[in-house]
A and B are shown apart, each in its own frame.
Chain A
């Protein structure tokens, strides 16, 4: 091995050695990226990433479940009683505090991903202590805004990105 004086003053060979190694490491990383990235959603999956839903047929107090990115999305036309029940809850009572207005852009329409935030089961509608949703897997209880109230789930059910294209049509995703 090189003695100490040589180590203090790196020579041309040391420089080339390190530069070659660094370039090789960079090359391997660049080459490895496509091998990993191929597992990300492909163009055909991304093409189906947003859907449009006609909500004109859902009457007050009715719900519809649509398939979005392989997951159920609950679209609930809430009654005035449900909206009031949700809006009256003080934030201090909530495990994952969110106001009703934050949960629903238009109060009568609750649109959320119907997947329990505990371990991914699909909760049952109009069920449980708060007459919202109840997950049969591990007894998580959600209120009429889909907020977690009791049980092991840590968070409120997810609100997907959506927009109202008209009064009767929404785009999810």
Chain B
């Protein structure tokens, strides 16, 4: 579906530019004439929302960098300066901090939508890989951003995460020293994290462009998981999907700004309002909520190397999902067994998030003798089992439901689709 632009420049200036750099027809085909399946549901708006959140983060981030001082002695106070002195500084910082969370929410829903409807399957594997790369870059960016306020959670989060690299055989110690620029997390660490935190969002933006490019070659998947066959199965991106996405962005922004204006520290940790102290660790050290499931996997494995491998493996395994899933049918709508395992996977992920922030030795929901650690291990096994066992095996043995002939038939019924096709043909003949 690439090169489907219907753009014809009308003005002389437009023709002049089109011959030299066809950028307007490129944008036209990406955001105006792109044929989208007509049956996309509201789970498909989260890509646009994620894009919107990336822009919000970049704009507010550039502004915060105008007022922030990346120095161990001044960073904490400069953040307070932003909160108290800078015009609208409190609003911009709260938007950036909550924006990060909302960006992750949008991206998690976006990924899970892809998993439910099998959007990663051929011919969309590269699209999926680029998306996963964006997610990985987001994790790195979010982590480094959380270090910048230089509070207690910033400092000790940075210490814990950088210590992961110590488990690399032979050169782990050297890698860690390299990351720190010293013998512990200190000013050099803060400086380089600031530099990279500013750089990575633009790298993400670049990969987003590739992600959209890779989307436009095969076109969007859809809730039925079958390819559009005729013009009747699609609608142009503008105005139908631009308006729908815009509407969803407005609703999503209401949620974002509820947090910004009414509950700005809900997703943060109060300890990060204590300046970093390299001599005292907070009693409970917890990462940002969006890392919690992976942190739970780390803690559930009783071995330092194994824990770190498990945690990174939990993210990296997502990259190979297109090749682990053997099912010919994309959408979970026609895969009754997969649908159940999928929802268990979602619930299990939330459960892992819960285990990421509770004490491992406490009883699970007060059940005597059943510790959080035990249940989190079962959760971890399910997490990996879903990818390694369920996805490959289920595809071979599952009895799927019959697929509809076309998107229009599924939407309008066989007779309705035929009637519409006749009307379209008549209209075209008249034109």
Contacts and interface: CB of A to CB of B under 8 A. Distances in A.
A44 B92 contact: no
Max chain B C-beta neighbours (<10 A), residue from A37, A38, A43, A44: A38
B79 to A, nearest CB: 13
Contact of A34 (B67, B81, B88): B88
Given A34-B87, A42-B81, 14 more contacts: A34-B88, A34-B91, A34-B92, A37-B87, A38-B67, A38-B86, A38-B88, A38-B92, A39-B66, A40-B87, A42-B67, A42-B87, A42-B89, A43-B84
B85 interface: yes
Top 9 A-B residue pairs of the complex, sorted by shortest distance between their CB atoms: A34-B88, A43-B85, A44-B85, A42-B85, A42-B86, A37-B87, A38-B87, A38-B88, A40-B87
A103 B398 CA distance: 93
Interface string A52-88: 0000000000000000000000000000000000000
Interface of A: 34-35, 37-40, 42-45
Max chain A C-beta neighbours (<10 A), residue from B59, B81, B87: B87
Contacts of B89: 38, 42
B63 interface: yes
B85 A35 contact: no
A101 B89 CA distance: 44
Nearest to A33: B88
Contact of B81 (A37, A40, A44): A44
Interface residues of B, number: 13
Contacts, number: 32
Interface of B: 59, 63, 66-67, 81, 84-89, 91-92
Contacts of B81: 42, 44
Nearest to B257: A31
13 contacts: A34-B87, A34-B91, A34-B92, A35-B59, A35-B88, A35-B92, A37-B88, A38-B66, A42-B81, A42-B87, A42-B89, A44-B81, A45-B85
Contacts of B91: 34
A34 B261 CA distance: 14
Contacts of A45: 85
B195 to A, nearest CB: 22
Nearest to A39: B66
Contacts of B92: 34-35, 38
Contacts of A44: 81, 85
Contacts of B84: 43
A36 to B, nearest CB: 9
Nearest to B81: A44
A40 B86 CA distance: 8
Nearest to A32: B59
Nearest to B246: A24
Contacts of B86: 38, 42-43
